[in-house]
Amino acid sequence: MKNIAITVLLLLLFQSCGKGGGVWRASMDFGDRALKEGRFVDAEKSYLVALDEAEQFGEDDDRLTETLMTLANFHRNRNKFPRSKPYFERALELRQKKLGMNDTLVIEDRNNLVELYYILGDTAKVESLGTIASDISKEVLGVDNLELARLYRIMAKTCHEEGRFHQADSLYRSALTILEKQHVDDQDDYIDILSEIAILYHESGQYAEADSLYCLSLDLHENLVGSGSPDLVSTLTNLANLKNETGDFVAAESLYTRALKNNSHRRSRSYFTKISLLHSLAKTCVAQGKYKKARRHYKKALEYIDGSTGMHPELIEILDSYSDLLLKLNKNTEAKDLKQRSLRLKEKLNK
């Protein structure tokens, strides 16, 4: 009944607008209102009516590009990236045809499309369009423009994920150089890139370099951004993981503890993150022979798991590790109960 009422309302609204661009304008406005009110289905329907109307104006009419871009952003902002892609591609094609390859608006749209390809995991298109986009950005906006820095970072992430560490490092460094020259007030991107290079070095076994960059990122983050952000928790955790891998369990324990404390400061605390950190803390304590302390961490992790909905991805590993620890503490009955719980979960997952 609700959809019928909306359709009737749209028809009455369109009829009152007459011919020309009235139907297009009315449907765009109706879609915008529906979007603000959270009525996403109604918003999309209205935007699609606007698109049908805009198609009649011809490809040179700005209203067609505007409608396509509205639909592209509508889906993108709701994380419906595959649905956003065709609208984005066609809008860029039309705008590029009308304004030329070097128009600043076209450059921004093209860079946004590169980012969308990255989100969709389309490596080939990230590289092909990214190369074109970076060349044009350099030519039109100069070698130190922020759009170029954004492109370099996107392309660096793609190279990183494909294991091309040297190429990724070079692109990350180019992005950092631009940010340093531009003296950008918002340091979030700069700090994030430092962390991404640190992860790159970490994964490629360059532990000393990774350690140095993690520490620099932490210092900047705490001084400029403050505590409690997910990025800070992530960097603390990554550095703790590195310390664990290199056998510095004391430093790892301290860093995991800091990460846990910062995670609790977040407004929207991640219980999954908290459980993972408690698990890591417990393992670090076991490595140091601090069995009773490790037991407290495991116990708290299980309390969080049992008090939340959904299965934590580390639950089976936590149950097995905790069971092994309890055996070391001669808590055989508790250890047996946890091992049986783990076996039941494994059997359930293998069905």
What is the chain's alpha carbon radius of gyration, rounded to the nearest angstrom? 26
16 belongs to a structural domain: yes
Q: Do 235 and 334 fall into the same domain?
A: yes
Q: How many residues does the chain have?
A: 351
Q: Do 65 and 24 fall into the same domain?
A: yes
Q: Which residues are CB-neighbours of 104 under 8 A, at least 6 positions away?
A: 140, 141
252 belongs to a structural domain: yes
Q: Do 63 and 105 fall into the same domain?
A: no
Q: Do 28 and 83 fall into the same domain?
A: yes
Q: DSSP code of 224?
A: I
Q: What integer pLDDT is reported at residue 5 of this predicted model?
A: 46
Q: Do 240 and 341 fall into the same domain?
A: yes
Indicate the pTM of the whole model: 0.82
Q: What integer pLDDT is reported at residue 1 of this predicted model?
A: 43
208 belongs to a structural domain: no
Q: What integer pLDDT is reported at residue 350 of this predicted model?
A: 82
Q: Give dist(CA 224, CA 227) in Å, integer.
A: 9
212 belongs to a structural domain: no
Roughly how many angstroms between the first and final C-alpha of the chain, as a whole number? 43
Q: How many domains does the chain have?
A: 3
Q: What integer pLDDT is reported at residue 252 of this predicted model?
A: 97
- Rounded to 10 degrees, what is the CA torsion of 117, 121, 123, 128? -10
DSSP 43-107: HHHHHHHHHHHHHTT-TT-HHHHHHHHHHHHHHHHTT-HHHHHHHHHHHHHHHHHHH-TT-HHHH
Q: Do 252 and 337 fall into the same domain?
A: yes
Q: Do 72 and 143 fall into the same domain?
A: no
Q: Give dist(CA 338, CA 332) in Å, integer.
A: 10
Residue 266 CB burial class (10 angstroms; 0-12, 13-18, ≥19): middle
Q: Give dist(CA 279, CA 281) in Å, integer.
A: 5
Q: What integer pLDDT is reported at residue 137 of this predicted model?
A: 93
129 belongs to a structural domain: yes
- Which of 51, 77, 99 marks a domain boundary? 99
Q: Do 235 and 351 fall into the same domain?
A: yes
Q: Which amino acid is at 322?
A: Y
- Which of 149, 182, 199 marks a domain boundary? 199
CATH code of the domain covering residue 258: 1.25.40.10
Q: Which residues are CB-neighbours of 119 under 8 A, at least 6 positions away?
A: 81
Can you give the pLDDT of all 351 residues of the chain as single tens digits? 445 445 545 554 544 444 456 889 999 999 999 999 999 999 999 999 999 999 999 999 999 999 999 999 999 999 999 999 999 999 999 999 999 999 999 999 999 999 999 999 999 999 999 999 999 999 999 999 989 999 999 999 999 999 999 999 999 999 999 998 887 666 788 888 999 999 999 999 999 999 999 999 998 887 876 665 678 889 999 999 999 999 999 999 999 999 998 887 655 457 888 999 999 999 999 999 999 999 999 999 999 888 876 678 899 999 999 999 999 999 999 999 999 999 999 888 887
- Which of 82, 99, 116 marks a domain boundary? 99
Q: Do 183 and 109 fall into the same domain?
A: yes
Residue 82 CB burial class (10 angstroms; 0-12, 13-18, ≥19): exposed
Q: Do 28 and 39 fall into the same domain?
A: yes
207 belongs to a structural domain: no
Query: Can you tell me which residue has the tokens 């139907």?
Result: 23
* CA 99 to chain centroid: 32
Please report how many Cα atoms fall inside a 13 Å half-sphere around the Cα of residue 164, on the Cβ side: 13
Q: What integer pLDDT is reported at residue 222 of this predicted model?
A: 79
Q: Which CA distances in Å does 316 have to 206, 303, 323, 347?
A: 31, 14, 10, 11
* CA 38 to chain centroid: 23
Q: What integer pLDDT is reported at residue 4 of this predicted model?
A: 42
Q: Give dist(CA 3, CA 39) in Å, integer.
A: 11
Q: What integer pLDDT is reported at residue 11 of this predicted model?
A: 52
Q: Helix 291-306 and helix 315-328: axis angle, to 10°?
A: 150
Q: Give dist(CA 321, CA 283) in Å, integer.
A: 8
142 belongs to a structural domain: yes
Q: Give dist(CA 342, CA 351) in Å, integer.
A: 15
Q: Do 248 and 318 fall into the same domain?
A: yes
- 237: domain range? 229-264+271-351
204 belongs to a structural domain: no
Q: Do 164 and 246 fall into the same domain?
A: no
Q: Give dist(CA 145, CA 255) in Å, integer.
A: 36
Q: What integer pLDDT is reported at residue 16 of this predicted model?
A: 46
